[in-house]
Structure 1
Amino acid sequence: MAEAVVGQLVVSLGAALAKETAIFGGALLSKEAAAIRGLFGKIRDSKAELESMQAYLQEAERFKDTDKTTAIFVGEVRGLAFQIEDVIDEFTYKLEDCRHGGFAGKMKKRLKHIKTWRRLAAKLQEIDVKLKDAKRRKQDYAVVAGTGGSAFAARSTSRGQALHFTRDEDLVGIEENKEKLIRWLTVSGGSGHGLEQNNCKVTTVWGMPGVGKTTLVAHVYNTVKVDFDAAAWVTVSESYHIEDLLKKIAAQFGITVDAADIEMRDLAESIHDYLQGKKFIMVLDDVWAARVWLEIRNVFPTSNFTSRFVITSRKHEVSLLATRESAIHLEPLQEHHSWLLFCNGAFWNTDDKECPVELQELARKFITKCQGLPIAIACIGRLLSLKPPTSAEWEDVYSGLDSQLAKDVIPDAHMILKVSLEDLPYDLKNCFLHCALSPEDYVLKRRKTMRLWIAAGFIREKDESKTLEEVAEGYLAELVNRSLL
């Protein structure tokens, strides 16, 4: 996403150039004026170069995964953009520093910074040479046949949770499993046989990533939790620590503990004592290993037969933790349900949510690529909803996906996620990448996230009628609507 970096840098360069009038409006020493004028000249040159490059990068990002020469060039541009940003940051800091202190102190700093302005101008000149060298190598070694402007997708390397956002329209093809899960969670059970865990019923939902495990369980959990005295949802993931997991469980149940100083044994006792005699439900989402449950199950009281545990996992061995036969294996969606989910996403803003006849053949091709995975269908559907509903626009998107698969670049339907990321404008990419800096399972707070975007300079006023907060709110809504948050 080098164009996102370059786009933000162009804004920073513009802000730096805006200071030129204010500086030359005051009295400057002759050497100081010459040094600053030379620096501003280099800043202006860098801004013009990067503005011209931004449009190219927007296309280059789309096919860098199938053209190694382009990938190297995009990486070099990203690195050089960061170096330019360092120069601008130092310039801004030093310039502000000159404004503090008494007259003698200011004059001393201004004389001292003459060398700084010359050094920064030389640095920008050095970066400019490197940028020209990178462009020359790109032209010398480019393989023309290897490029294609509409190649959108690339290999998804994320091993974390599938991106998801639970909406009613996403709940397609889960009716039977939903009813089964509700029945298991709400019907009181006896002591039972077999894999009864701590005399409490353990239900598991498992399947491949993106198949809709969390969506199903979240919907059922929100439906049945009102029937329990206490409820908790805890995401576990691949890397976890027992102490942190117990703290999460305590927090979700609303148990007040001194999280900083409490011993793990005391923490376990606090959870046990709080839940004693209560009818409770707890969801452990995205469990990677059966040992997680084996390490924490003794924390929970064994006397209440009406309490329930739900575990979601991509691992079959974890599904074996289920009490008796209380396990659901989620399979990819059937063709009918895939079609319904696709139309709900691609035509969400129409009254009938029906696919036009002239687009139906293409729509079925997209659905075939998604292999029945709800996350892929939802993402490609929402991406196409942002495009004009014409055969030409849809063909452009499809040809990119098809060319990538023909080159064996992407082995499965998770390529669809990359399509949605590549389609983001650079300002939205910056906002999304900022969210991606958070650790896995981190809870993003809406207001805090928007304020961080504003502080980082990702949000700019589009017109006088909207505040920065309103623009940020729109960006957040856009990322949610694209099924990326």
Structure 2
Amino acid sequence: MAEGVVGSLIGKLGAALAKEAATYGASLLCQEVSALKRLFAQIRDVKDELESMEAFLHGAERFKDIDETTGNYVKKIRGLAFEIEDAVDEFTYKLEDKHGGFTGKMRKRIKHVKAWRRLALRLQDIKQRLENADRRKVRYDLSVIGSSGHSKSPEQSFQFAREEDLVGIEINKELLMQWLAGDSEQGCKIATVWGMGGVGKTTLVSHVYKTVKLDFDVSGFVTVTNSYQFDDLLKKISTEFEIPIDADNIAVGSLVESIHHHLQGKRYILVLDDVWQPDVWFKLRNAFPTESTGRFIFTTRMQEVALLATKKCAIELAPLDAHCSWQLFCKEAFWNADNKTCPEELQDIALMFVDKCAGLPIAIACIGRLLSCKHPIYSEWEHVYKDLELQLTNNVILDADIVLKVSLEDLQRNLKNCFLHCTIFPESYAFNRKRLIRHWIAAGYIQEVGSKTVEEVAEGYLNELVNRSLLQVVERNLSGRVRSGSGHTSETEISICASTEVLHHIGCLTKLRTFAIGKVRTEHCADLCDAIMRMTHLVRITINSADEEEVLQLETLRLPSTISKIELGGMLSKESISRLISTSSNLVNLTELNLGFSKFNEDSFACLLNLHNLVELYLSKAYDGRELIFHATSFPKLKLLSVWDAPNLRKIAIQQGALQSLVRLFLADCPELRDVPDGIKHLRTLEYLRIKGCSDELRRKLEIKGKSNTRNEDRMKISHVKWVEIVLEK
């Protein structure tokens, strides 16, 4: 998120400015003082500018996906923020470089004067571009954003499901109805229904409300939202209760009196949907007479709001189980069929859709409705599923994403960064509390607040994310503290799929040593490359595409010299291969390379031969060429070579001087391979050879039975290998 990037950068700029007094206090050259003063001034100006726009960006994040101008603006600011961070990182590094003797230090100081001037000019240019971006977009205008907030459309906020379409709500429905209509005791009673976004809170409550409202004299259903205005909320309640008011001229006090007077001596019920803060009730409660019989239902994502419930009148909704998920899907996808059942030929793909929804009723219903408009043909449903993986489908985004993204957008910057950090973990990964807190602290998201330590602040953040239903508790210790937790699958997928901004957030994790990411689409690659190139301490990296046919366009990726292991799963464009490996002189520590689905041929594979320090090379469904040739001096340190599923490979040639350290060789599922590798006799260090799934011709040559000269000759080529395993498959 741009807001998170800018927020982190403001902290970094503040840290740089904190060094100003100490820097001036040191013994400096006259030219140094002048250059540094100008540079610190530019850092201060840029910091002020970013602080001014931070609040705007918090609101703008909500509209960047639906307003092109805002989206372009946010993208521009994010890019400029990264440029500023590069400049500040260079400045900090050079300022703290104290190595060398007296003469060396003096040379550096003189050389750094030029750097200070260059960086000052660079920051001045960036600041000018920030101001130009502002002139193209109304400067920090919060009025439009503030007026919209998290409002729901009428279709979202209040829609009654048909009785026959409701699934998995029976127990909670009966419980809620019992609380509301089980007694006629006077006074106010509150029931709360809470849980993560899209879990079905509004559906349950709206159905119960429709059922019981006739038992009350007065009834109302009002959506609150996070951006509610108190006077507007009172007017909505008055309208629902059919209280005649002059909405344009009436004061807040008069509204409270009107509602209070109208409800005197009556039985009434009020649903407040989508409540985000407990103070909503504390502001409203004086409008409701205690001598009447009042029943309230609040729906919320916040545990602190759920705690407003009377006695034990709180329901925490969990996602649907597998059976109920399937029931709901069939009712939506086959609503116009007599038996509302899924045809046998579609059941496999249908289960994949249901699994993707992770029990969220809103997602299941949206996908089911979408599929009900498609022909019930496997190929057509499969096409929709691929689109779903790409962006949760455009039509689904319109419903589910609006609901689920609100939880993320409402977070303050530090909380948002902490939550987004959790998305780097695999789905359903149970993270340890202490380990997660250390991650957050190391990433720079946590600062001391008052007398609290960073660990205490971080634990408070963790509890708030749990209370907002963004993270799920897996286990608590005996004192009730979170011991381990996980992200809700659908919340995590929404936050990632809704926007590639997460890639930029990941780029802030500059000190990562191990990074792995999957389900990458071609359109993600540019942002992904930018993010990875900020990780200057990487040792191991894994990038897997969404499927075998997805092209990984990594031509702009430049990996640090610290990298020792690379795993790439996906088709690689020719440009990606050549440019990635063209930096091989920098990859001096790269010892393991694992390539899958890469579509190498004779020409592109030649690029790999320059990786002289490689120890292990795995080619899994990665080679499409007919010949695999290892030229003399290639891979001098390689000890393990594995070639699996090379359908067109007919010949392997090893020139003398190549693979001189090879110990283990695996050749599997190469159906066209007709001979043992030519030149294998040169591999005097080879100890283990395994061949499986070769051609019939090679199989016959390597069969032990019989004593033809041809067979003996092929056996002799590998007679020096200590352990040979030939899996002869017909």
State the TM-score, normalized to the length of structure 1.
Answer: 0.49
Higher RCO by CA contacts (8 Å cutoff, separation 6 or greater): 1
Give the alignment's TM-score, normalised by structure 2: 0.33
Larger Rg: 2
Structure with the largest fraction of helix: 1
Structure that is richer in strand per residue: 2
